[in-house]
Amino acid sequence: MDTSRLLRTTGTVIAAAGLLLVGCSTGGAAGPASSAPSAPSGSASASAAALRPYYEQKLSWRDCGVPGFQCATMKAPLDYANPGSGQDVDIAVARRPATGPGKRLGSLVVNPGGPGGSGIGYLQAYAGIGYPAPVRARYDMVSFDPRGVDRSSPVECLTGPAMDKYTQVDQTPDDAAERALLVTAFKEFAAGCQARSQRVLPHVSTVDAARDMDLLRAVLGDEKLTYVGASYGTLLGATYADLFPDRVGRLVLDGAMDPSRTAVDLNRDQTAGFETAFTAFAKDCAKQEGCPLGTGGPEAVGARLKEFFRKLDAQPVPTGDAARPLGEALATTGVIAALYDESAWPQLREALTAAMDGDGASLLSLADSYYERSPDGKYANLMSANAAVNCLDQPPAFTGPDAVRSALPSFEKASPVFGTGLAWASLNCTYWPVKATGTAKSLAAKGAAPILVVGTTRDPATPYKWAQALADQLDSGTLLTYDGDGHTAYGRGSDCIDTTINRYLLEGQVPPKDKKC
C-alpha cells in the first residue's frame, strides 16, 4: 500500500485500469505557423540564448490514433542548468483543436495530478471530450506527459511481477522482523529506480516540469499560459506561476496542495483527509440496507473495517489470482481508491461485502485501478514517477523506522482506520538514491494575473485547508469553495462550480472573494 502523497483526479483513479491509450509520435505535416515568444531572461541559471532553440522549436503534429486528437514530441533540456549539452528529454504532447463556434482563445493546458498521472491519457479519455462544451469550443485542449511519466522519458523501477509483490508488502508491521521486511521493500524499489532510470532520476522535479510547461506555452504560440491543474497539478501550476508570474493567463488550481507543508505534514494531513472521506462514506453506508460494516456511527463502522483489515493481515482471502490474494495492504488501497469519489461508494460497499464473504476480487480490482495495473499484469509507471517526483521535491518525511514509530500516535489520531499504514508508507523516500533538490515553501507568484484556487470541504486527498492556505499565499489567489464530498470539484456535477470556472476561463471573470457552492 504505497499511497503516500499520490494526488490525482477522480477519473484517473477509478477508470485508469480500463483505459486503452494510444501512443503518440511526431512526423507528418506541421501545424499552423505561430510566433513563439522567446525565453524569459531569468529562466533557470542558463542564459536565454542557450534556451532559445528550445523555445523556438516547431512541433510536428500528426494523428495519433484517437479520433479528433493530434500528437507531437517536444524537446526539453535534461538539465536546465546545462541546456544545449546534447542531453535532452522528449516530452509527449497531445491536443484536440477548438471545436467552435466562437473565436479561439488559445490553448488550455490541463494536468490530472499524480505526480505521475499521464496528461495525454487524461486528455484523450476525459478532458478533451468531457470538459464543458463552451470551453472546448473556444480552446485547443492540450496536455503533456511530464518528464518521467509514461511517454516522456519515463522513470522505470520494477517489473510487473516485482510490483505485484511490492504492493502486497505489509505496511502495518507488528514486530522488528516485519519492519525489516518493509524497509527492504522500500530499498529494493529505490534501487530498481536507480538501476533502470539513473539518467533522468535527478531531473524530474516539479520545477523541471514547470519549466517544460513554459516551453510548451511558447511552442504553442501563446503569450500567456491558460491552465487547469487538478490535485498535484495545482502544485505544478502554482510553481509555474511563481517562476513565471508575467506569463500567467487564467489558472485554475482545483483540489489544491499547500506548498508550504513539509513532507511529514502533507502525509499526515492527507491521512486526516481520508478519515474525513471515510466518515462520510460510513454515515452513508449505515443508511443502506445490507451495509457490510453494519450500523451505528462512523466510529463503530471504522472499528469494524479496521478489524476486517486485521483479519486480512493474518489470513488473506482468495481473489482468483493465486499469486495475489487480498491481504491488508491491497484491501486498504482498494478502499482508499473508492474514497476519491462518492459515486464509487456503492462499488465499495459491494466489494467489501464480497470480500467479507471470502471473495476479494472486486476489492483487488479497485486497488489495481489505483496502481494503474492492467489485466495482463503490466503497470503504468505511475508509482515509479510518483516516488521520483515526490522524493526530489522535498526531503524525506522520516529518517528511518524509529522516526515513524515516534510519529505513529499523531497519524493514528488523524485516522484511527488508516493512520498506521499511511505513516509507514511515508517512509518511501527515506532510502531514495537521489538527494532532494526542493523544499517546502510558500509560493506567492507576485505580479501574476488573478489565479482561481478551488477547494472541496470533504476532499479525501487534498484537505480543504490546503486550498485555503494556497489561496492566501498567492498574491492574486481567489478561493472558490465546493461544500461537498470527493476529490476536486470541476466537472463533477456542481452547476455552480462549473459555471463559475467557465466564466473565468472564457471571460476572465473572477468570482467574488470566498465564493461558496
176/234 same-domain check: no
State the pLDDT confidence band at 16, using cuts at 50, 70 and 90. very low
pLDDT digits (tens, 9 = 90+) for 62-101: 998 899 999 999 999 999 999 988 899 999 999 999 999 9
Residue 231 falls in the annotated catalytic set: yes
Say what the pTM is.
0.91
Whether 217 and 291 map to the same domain: the answer is no
Catalytic residue among 459, 476, 485, 498: 459
State the catalytic residue, choosing from 231, 365, 369, 415.
231
Residues 295 and 252 in one domain: no
Grid cell of 252 as nine digits: 485554475
473 and 366 housed in the same domain: no
**Residue 223 and residue 117 in one domain:** yes
Residue 49 has pLDDT above 90, yes or no: no
Q: What is the CATH number of the domain that holds 214?
A: 3.40.50.1820
For residue 5, the model assigns a pLDDT of: 57
Domain around 193? 160-199+262-371+397-425
Domain co-membership, 216 together with 319: no
SS3 40: coil
pLDDT digits (tens, 9 = 90+) for 71-81: 999 999 999 99
Same domain, yes or no, for 247 and 356?
no
- Given a cut of 50, is residue 22 above it in pLDDT? no
Q: Is 416 within a domain?
A: yes
Give the per-residue pLDDT at 207.
Answer: 97
**Known catalytic residue: 170?**
no
Domain assignment present for residue 37? The answer is no
Give yes or no: residues 175 and 247 share one domain: no
Same domain, 180 and 278: yes
User: With contact defined as beta carbons under 8 Å apart, do 23 and 64 qualify?
Assistant: yes
What average pLDDT does the structure give for the chain?
Answer: 91
Question: pLDDT for 446-483, tens place per residue?
Answer: 999 999 999 999 998 899 999 999 999 999 999 999 99
- Among 22-31, 171-180, 368-377, 430-439, where is mean pLDDT lowest? 22-31
Taking only the tens place, the pLDDT of each residue in 230-284 is 999 999 999 999 999 999 999 999 999 999 999 999 999 999 999 999 999 999 9
Question: Are the beta carbons of 199 and 78 closer than 8 angstroms?
Answer: yes
The average pLDDT across 131-152 equals 97
pLDDT of residue 297: 84
Residue 414 has, within 13 A of its CA and on its CB side, a CA count of 24
Q: What is the dihedral of CA 459, 461, 462, 465, to 10 degrees?
A: 60
- Is pLDDT above 50 for 357? yes
What per-residue confidence (pLDDT) applies to 508? 97
Backbone region of residue 145 per phi and psi (left: phi > 0; alpha: psi in -120 to 50; beta: other values): beta
- For residues 470 and 511, state if they share a domain: yes
Q: What is the mean pLDDT of residues 339-354?
A: 95
Same domain, yes or no: 109 and 187: no
Catalytic residue among 153, 384, 476, 487: 487
How is residue 305 written as a grid cell? 473495517
Q: Quick check: is 459 catalytic?
A: yes
Q: Is the peptide bond before 115 cis (omega within 30 degrees of 0)?
A: yes
Q: Could you tell me if 347 and 248 lie in one domain?
A: no
Would you give the distance in Å from CA 349 to the centre of its chain? 25
DSSP state of 326: B
pLDDT category of residue 144 using cuts at 50, 70 and 90: very high
For the segment 484-500, the average pLDDT, to the nearest whole number, is 94
